[in-house]
Amino acid sequence: MDMKLIDDLVGRMESESLRLQQFRQIVESDQGLPPVPRDAEREKKSLARLARTPWLRLVCLSTAQPLKVSGYRDPEQGVDSPMWDTWLRNDMDSRQSQLNFAVVTFGYAFMQLTPGEDHAVMRPVSPQQMVAEYDDPYGDEYPLYALRRVRAGKYKFFDDERIVTLEGLDGNYRVVDEVEHSAGVCPVVLYPNLMDLEGNCFGEVEPYVDVAARLDLTTNDRLLVQRFNSWKILYATNITPPKSMTKQQQDRAKMTLRNDSVLMGTGDTKFGTLDETSMTPFITAVETDRSDLSAVSQTPMTMLTGEMINLGADAITNSYRPWREKLKQRRDVWGDCHARALRVAAALEGNREEAENFDAVVQWDDVEDRSLAQTADAFGKLAQMLEVPPEVLWGRIPGVSQSDVLEWKRLHEELRRRDLETEAMALQSDMSLSVGAESGGDLTQADTSQSPASYEDQPKPWGAKRGAKAGKRTIERLKRKDKRDGDGDGIVNE
């Protein structure tokens, strides 16, 4: 084990952690104060602290919160990959929000993967606690090696063959544990927010630090005006103080004048007021600075202020378009990273088929702001006009989780099975009736006994008593007709 390499990686990680700490402070509203004079009063310094507002935290949250993974599947198979179970068992359904926030805050973060008892262990790691070395920072999918600080004095080293646990400080490190893995690559995946062709990563804080600082400065100016110059100032001239008062007492008396003080004078005494400073320009300046931050960060103004005044549906949709384009870009980048991490997890679990499955992609929650009625109408038209299977659209309904979709599919299949059984029983009954009618045997009598007979088939109450006599009368009637003299000439049956 090259301890010099470990010491170099520890130094690089600590240096990078100091650089990233300022971004963390900004999102936690612990950024630097607006400039104030060194000898300023304590009250003005307090106002400068009150002027700090975590605007960039809103920018980060607006990017991190909507990007939630809801599935991982191969489009050809149409069902979730077995690796989705690994994702859920690592609680990544909730931990992904923490990973997203770290990526947008610092510009990048890591996913650490290690062997487990029955599944691979996935662990998001802050860039303040991990450093990775690449041969080509832009083109390489996996690092050559990586080092993570578990706690003070304890580290984990990763390469393409093993995971080594070390302890020590200031260059004195010793190997505590060493575990081999079957990933075939260094089991660490980089998640960038934005990356240029040189491999440099940028978050949602670093490019907009100055814009947010300008907002704090404008807010501080407004607070100063609000605190010291927002009311009228009374003045009086040619007022002679009592002779018994010293100079210091006279100055102190002037400072104690307030809005409810009553002044009296004689002779050439004059009274007047100085108008207050208008706060309208400062409020307008704050709104202008917020608009600048909204434009450069592709964050809707309504997310920064919460106001939606005199905006129609089309205007709201257009105002959200740059933000949606930003989310689409993050989906493309982070989707590849999630798939890469799950392939490494499959290799650690010995699932070679899933480790080489480059067709599986992650499924994202729908973040479009639509009512349920609009969604149902749109999906209904897709199913009827374009013949899209309804089961495919279930997972795209806002607010419907993957577990809900699985429950719906189970109920749908159960109802379909019952319908098929009912149709099969009805078809079997119809076939039995048809066969019995053709044979004319006992089966017909058995079948007809189960259903009401028609009027013609019902036994007549008079048939048994009058049947024989009715037959005789019919024969006699025919005989009489044969002997009938039709023309009356006495000749029968002419």
pLDDT tens-digit readout, 172-183 = 889 999 999 999
**CB neighbours of residue 395 within 10 Å:** 20
Length in residues, the chain: 494
Range from 82-86, 164-168, 416-420 carrying the lowest mean pLDDT: 416-420
Encode 95-153 in three state secondary structure.
HHHHHHHHHHHHCEEEEEEECCCCCCEEEEECCCCEEEECCCCCCCCCCCEEEEEEECC
Enter the tokens of residue 115. Answer: 């062997």
Enter the tokens of residue 401. Answer: 């989780």
Confidence of residue 448 (pLDDT cuts 50, 70, 90): very low
C-alpha to C-alpha distance for 94 and 111, rounded to whole angstroms: 14
Confidence of residue 239 (pLDDT cuts 50, 70, 90): low
pLDDT of residue 295: 92
C-alpha to C-alpha distance for 417 and 425, rounded to whole angstroms: 12
Angle between helices 209-228 and 55-64 (to 10 degrees): 140
The pLDDT of residue 141 is above 70: yes
- Dihedral (CA of 416, 419, 421, 427) sign: negative
| Average pLDDT in the chain | 82
- Dihedral (CA of 127, 132, 137, 142) sign: negative
Tell me how many degrees the CA angle 278-283-286 measures, rounded to the nearest 5. Answer: 145
Higher pLDDT, 482 or 292: 292
**CB neighbours of residue 142 within 10 Å:** 20
> Are residues 164 and 5 in contact, defined by beta-carbon separation less than 8 angstroms?
no
Beta bridge partners of 188: 112
Summarize the confidence of residues 88-108 as an average pLDDT: 95
Interval 410-436: pLDDT, tens: 888 888 888 888 888 888 887 777 766
Tell me what percent of the residues of the chain surpass a pLDDT of 70: 77
pLDDT of residue 447: 47
> Are residues 65 and 35 in contact, defined by beta-carbon separation less than 8 angstroms?
no
Predicted structure pTM score? 0.72
Tell me how many degrees the CA angle 484-490-491 measures, rounded to the nearest 5. Answer: 70
Tell me how many degrees the CA angle 72-77-80 measures, rounded to the nearest 5. Answer: 25
Summarize the confidence of residues 91-96 as an average pLDDT: 93
Enter the tokens of residue 228. Answer: 């010291």
> Regarding beta strands 162-169 and 154-158, do their DSSP bridges make them parallel or antiparallel, or are they unpaired?
antiparallel
Residues with Cβ within 8 Å of 60's Cβ and at least 6 positions away in sequence, in order, are 27, 101, 104, 105, 203, 204, 205
Summarize the confidence of residues 12-37 as an average pLDDT: 91
Q: What share of the chain is helix, strand, coil (3-state, %, to 5)?
A: 50, 15, 35
The pLDDT of residue 66 is above 60: yes
252: amino acid identity, one letter: R
pLDDT of residue 401: 66
pLDDT of residue 188: 96
Q: Given the structure tokens 């990586």, which residue do they identify?
A: 146
Confidence of residue 461 (pLDDT cuts 50, 70, 90): low
Enter the tokens of residue 314. Answer: 């089309």
Q: Judging by beta carbons within 10 Å of its beta carbon (0-12, 13-18, 19+), is residue 305 exposed, middle or buried?
A: middle
Q: Given the structure tokens 């062709």, which residue do they identify?
A: 197
